Structure 1
Amino acid sequence: MNDFHPFGWYAAKMAPHLPKKAFQPVKSRLFGGLAYFLLVTGGILAVSLLSLHPIWNLLISVVLGFSFAALGFLGHEILHGTVVKTPWLRDLLGAIAFWPLCTGPKLWRKWHNATHHVHTQHEEKDPDAWPSMEQLAKSRLLRWVYRIPFPIRAFFAFSSLSVMFTVHSIRMLFSFFRDFRWKNRAVVLLQFFLPWMTWLGLLWLIGWEKWWFAFLLPLLIANMIVMGYISTNHRLNPLVPVNDPLANSLSVTVPKWVDVLHFNFSYHTEHHLFPAMSSKYYPLVKKHIKQMWPDRYHEMPMKKALAALWKTPRVYYEHSELIEPKQGHVYGTLGNGLDPNEIVHRELKQDAQALLTTRQEEWKKASGVGKV
């Protein structure tokens, strides 16, 4: 797919076919948030105050983990302004929803709304995009990581999903902190540290064993659920010069009851077309996309998408393919030859290590590294 269109091009053609109410905030989403808030509060109190058998604590932890993740999905929707429009209320509710995941609303809107959505799958500008061969050549750490055999790396990559959202959030704080005005930096830091102070205060109150069930294990579960979606959103798609949601995004399919519990977070292409629209209406958006551009739309079951991620590397080669640098195995991306039902690779004609060395030399020459 080389004929890219910006998301506004699609939105302009589709908007006349959508009801006006689809572009209004849906405050009723807060009832779901209230239900999860009560579950989280009740679960933490039960673990903290009662001397339950570890099996019961484990079951409560699972419920807490699912609730942490679901609140994060709602917080994502709130901070896009699709639930309430009043800025201070939007940020307050978003902060509460993201509290278990320890992500502040001001940082999230800068990182996710203003940067990721504007520059989706741009090699340099998208903070969530995976590296290209050029970026690999610049990073000694990445070159070391990609010397690890692919099966081992894939195992650890999937295991790391249990902490990745938390780790990436901290990384984004360092990445974007200087972009905030001086008067906002204190707010960003306060929004980051307050949730952590709350959870560490809980640790001090109830001790390690109960804290493991009340917060840490649920956080790992929530990370795994959230990253299960996020890892499939774009990582099988190509890097693109134009922010084209039908080229750079993937919607996954999950059982209907899961969509209900997760606020339709699986509709990711739809979200990138209409980020300011409540996800309540994304099934309708999907219907129109599949009628208007059926050959451009990418969707697959969540399990199949995760399996495809396991079988493919995460370094981009010439933007439209994925490469395993050590062996020189090259895989397609969605819209560029990747068949999730039968994932195969082609052999790079030139030696992969030689190519990486060449890219390193090109980067050094361009950046002046090594000059006196």
Structure 2
Amino acid sequence: MADTGTLETRGSDFAKLARQIQDAGLLDRRPVYYAVRLTLVLAAYVGMWALFWWVGDSWWQLLVAVALGVASAQIGFVAHDLGHRQVFRTRRVSDVVGLLIGDFGIGLGWGWWNTKHNRHHANPNHEDEDPDVSPAVIVWSTDQVRRSRGLPRFIAKWQAFWFFPLLTLEAWHLHIASVKAVFAPTTKHRRMEGALLLAHFACYFGIVFTVLPIGMALVFVLVHQGLFGVYLGSTFAPNHKGMPILTKADKLDYLRKQVLTSRNVKGGVFVDVALGQLNYQIEHHLFPNMPSPNLRKAQPIVRQYCADLGVSYLETGLFASYGQALRHLHEVGAPLR
């Protein structure tokens, strides 16, 4: 829990920062960047499927499965930017492209994910309101441990050791949640999403089980989907896990709520590409519609502004961020040990 007693909560603080960011032009669209990025990512994804067809009945397909897992996650990063309206000016175009590459391309429900992710952005790391820290299997706070029952309680005891193995199931969790959302009456475009998801899974399993014998096909699917889930989970875990968990008792203004619950990850261009530039999580949470290539430019402005206000701004290396997240999970499960 954040120490709210020592924090200033002046609502104008974010407005002053926003003016600096706006004056620097960092909220302007980057159409050329996204045209190139989307072309490269889609070319890589389609190219992996062409390679799959060319390799045929061979255990070398496991290398293709690994590469396809990486390409699938990179498409997910672009879909994330589309969901935040970073790419196109209009919602309609963003939705059309998002539905195509999300539902049909990688089998993830566009409407369901956007709704869930927007709830996360509104209340990051909030014990009751952020769906990303809801106690589904992993528990994130000692209070959740006390309330846990069944599988979450069993896992929580040693959940730091379970965390990465469980990520191999993350892609399946996302697929299943996407399909379930199609049957929810509150889901927009659910007929369209249902048709696109059905087309994705029909094409995916149809191609894999046509080209490969059943045993090899099953291993290919497990490797592809397992790595896809680990990659996505390993990208999002450094951003908030191990940071303060907020409750209803915490009364923070927008700037502090976003900064104090987020963590940036250092590492240069390689980490930027590998994490879809979500390693600038503080800047992304403050300005979710900022095009991702501008986040690096916004960082020194935000970091200095937080220093001037005396607001804690955390930035660490990739492996150190995993260490912080895993230590937090281990400490949360301590009462059960």
Query: TM-score, normalized by length of structure 1?
Result: 0.74
Unaligned stretches of 5+ residues in structure 2: none
Q: Separation in 1 of the partners of 2:219 and 2:44?
A: 14
Q: Separation in 2 of the partners of 1:263 and 1:220?
A: 19
Q: CA RMSD in A?
A: 3.1
Unaligned stretches of 5+ residues in structure 1: 316-321, 328-372
Q: List per-residue Cα deviations over 1:319-345 (Å, max 9, x = no partner).
A: xxx452214xxxxxxxxxxxxxxxxxx
Aligned pair 1:221/2:231, yes or no? no
Q: Which residue of 1 aligns with 2:165?
A: 159
Q: Which residue of 1 aligns with 2:116?
A: 111
Aligned pair 1:128/2:132, yes or no? yes
Q: Which residue of 2 aligns with 1:16?
A: 19
Q: Is the 8 A contact 1:47 1:213 kept in 2?
A: no
Q: Separation in 2 of the partners of 1:15 and 1:79?
A: 21
Q: Separation in 2 of the partners of 1:213 and 1:59?
A: 12
Q: Is the 8 A contact 1:253 1:266 kept in 2?
A: yes
Rg larger in 1 or in 2? Answer: 1
- The alpha-carbon distance between structure 1 residues 51 and 192, as it changes in their structure 2 partners (threshold 3 A), is closer
Counterpart of 1:230 in 2: which secondary structure? helix
1:281 CA drift (Å) = 0.9
Q: Which residue of 2 aligns with 1:300?
A: 316
Q: Which residue of 1 aligns with 2:208?
A: 203
- The alpha-carbon distance between structure 1 residues 58 and 88, as it changes in their structure 2 partners (threshold 3 A), is same
- The alpha-carbon distance between structure 1 residues 40 and 126, as it changes in their structure 2 partners (threshold 3 A), is same
Q: Which moved more, 1:234-243 or 1:188-197?
A: 188-197
Structure number with greater CO (CA < 8 Å, separation at least 6) is 2
Q: Separation in 2 of the partners of 1:97 and 1:5?
A: 42
Q: Which moved more, 1:210-219 or 1:234-243?
A: 210-219
Which amino acid counterpart does residue 249 of structure 1 have in structure 2?
Answer: S
- The alpha-carbon distance between structure 1 residues 324 and 117, as it changes in their structure 2 partners (threshold 3 A), is same
- The alpha-carbon distance between structure 1 residues 172 and 62, as it changes in their structure 2 partners (threshold 3 A), is closer
Of 172, 188, 191, the residue aligned with 1:186 is 191
Counterpart of 1:313 in 2: which secondary structure? helix
Q: Separation in 1 of the partners of 2:108 and 2:8?
A: 32
Q: Separation in 1 of the partners of 2:13 and 2:151?
A: 36
Q: Is the 8 A contact 1:111 1:172 kept in 2?
A: no
Alignment of 1:1-372 (within 5 A): 1-2=3-4, 3=6, 10-18=13-21, 19=23, 21-28=25-32, 29-51=34-56, 54-55=59-60, 57-98=61-102, 99-113=104-118, 115-130=119-134, 131=139, 132-142=141-151, 144-146=153-155, 148=157, 150=158, 153-168=159-174, 170-171=176-177, 174=180, 178=184, 180=186, 184-207=189-212, 208=214, 211=217, 216-240=222-246, 241=250, 242=252, 244-260=257-273, 262-294=275-307, 295-313=311-329, 322=332, 324-327=334-337
- The alpha-carbon distance between structure 1 residues 188 and 156, as it changes in their structure 2 partners (threshold 3 A), is same
Identity rate of aligned residues, in percent?
Answer: 21
Q: Is the 8 A contact 2:170 2:226 kept in 1?
A: no
- How many residues align? The count is 315
Counterpart of 2:131 in 1: which secondary structure? coil
